[in-house]
Amino acid sequence: MTILIKDQATLSATIAAWRSAGDTIAFVPTMGALHAGHIALVKQAQQTAQRVITSIFVNPTQFGPNEDFTRYPRQMEQDHALLKEAGCAALFAPEVSTIYPAGFSTTINPGALATVIEGACRPGHFSGVATVVTRLLMLVQPDAAYFGEKDYQQLLVIQQTVRDLALPVQIIGVPTVRAPDGLALSSRNAYLSAAERERALILPATLRLIATEAPNGSDISTLLASGRTAIIDAGFSPDYLVVCDAATLDPITTLSAPARVLVAAKIGKTRLIDNMAVLPATKNECH
Ligand code: AMP
């Protein structure tokens, strides 16, 4: 059974009952339209905590004025069934007025990390994310919260926020779950036509090529230039294709520390993002 919780009073009572039973609590925040990527977060959370609570909240403040807030897929019954099947203890599905009651006015500004790459394309996005996640964390008060590496910059922004505000929760990143053909699972994949879905394979293919070739010594700017061309040739308009330091997100041109290659690109009305680790080659020193 997965208890469906809509309001703050029931949430607090449920959390209090779990706590008085001595249970540990893990939290998986989502925007719904759940797929195997979300369920991987739930499954990993279940490894560490007795109770897992997933939230579904399509957060208006992280969408820009010309983004897909109103058409974002909403399928609460199907999501509830998936969570039941996964053995998730509770589903918190608040109304907008529960998260942003009348008079709500505080926002969290996560600083420099939130202004680059995805943040540069979507001004205000990470402030919306950091604000809603902080509020959800304060409402749920979990021991740990799970986030996907699929949204790599988001994971770093949340880690920064939790560290800076000394929120008493552990933030855990979970590797990206992909379809067998390599496309990262995303609720937004539902927007793609069959032809667009096929073309979208250029994104993981490009990331994989860069993640493989950069450690072999290939020039990163050359890899990025030909990657960009391949993405455009497949019919996408890239917002960015960058290789950055994995911790600071500063752009890099030579690989000396763990890095990340990140992409965002649009096809038709759909904007997809993806990323992969780029690790410096380990030196096998022969003596
Ligand atoms: P969303 O519902 O898209 O806001 O995602 C909710 C959480 O699930 C975020 O922490 C995402 O990073 C994570 N997530 C989304 N897609 C995937 C995926 N394919 N693999 C792993 N985690 C994912």
Name the residue with the closest Cα to ligand 1, atom 12: 148
237-245/259-267 β-pairing:
antiparallel
Quick one: pLDDT at residue 284? Answer: 62
pLDDT band at 160 (very low <50, low <70, confident <90, very high): very high
Known catalytic residue at 80:
no
Quick one: pLDDT at residue 285? Answer: 55
| Residue of 35, 38, 80, 125 marked catalytic | 38
H helical segments located in the chain? 8-20, 36-48, 76-86, 96-99, 118-121, 125-140, 152-164, 194-199, 202-213, 220-233
End-to-end CA distance of the chain, in Å? 60
Quick one: pLDDT at residue 282? Answer: 82
173-176 long-range contacts (CB < 8 A, ≥24 apart) are 173/146, 173/147, 173/148, 173/149, 174/40, 174/41, 174/44, 174/146, 174/147, 174/148, 174/149, 175/149, 176/37, 176/148, 176/149, 176/150, 176/274, 176/275
Distance 158 CA to ligand 1 centre (A): 14
Q: Has residue 246 got a pLDDT over 60?
A: yes
Average pLDDT over residues 242-250: 98
If one residue of 150, 191, 273 were mutated to test the ligand 1 pocket, choosing by the most ligand atoms within 8 A of its CB, it would be 150
Quick one: pLDDT at residue 241? Answer: 98
pTM above 0.95, yes or no: yes
Q: Has residue 286 got a pLDDT over 70?
A: no
Q: Has residue 201 got a pLDDT over 90?
A: yes
Angle of helix 76-86 relative to helix 36-48, nearest 10 degrees, comes to 40
Q: Mean pLDDT for the chain?
A: 97
CA-to-CA distance for 283 and 209, rounded, in angstroms? 20
Ligand 1 neighbours, Cβ below 6 Å, are 30-31, 37-38, 40-41, 147-148, 150-151, 174, 176-177, 184-187
Quick one: pLDDT at residue 260? Answer: 98
CA-to-CA distance for 41 and 59, rounded, in angstroms? 19
Give tens-digit pLDDT for 64-109.
999 999 999 999 999 999 999 999 999 999 999 999 999 999 999 9
Q: Is 279 exposed, middle or buried (0-12, 13-18, 19+ CB in 10 A)?
A: middle
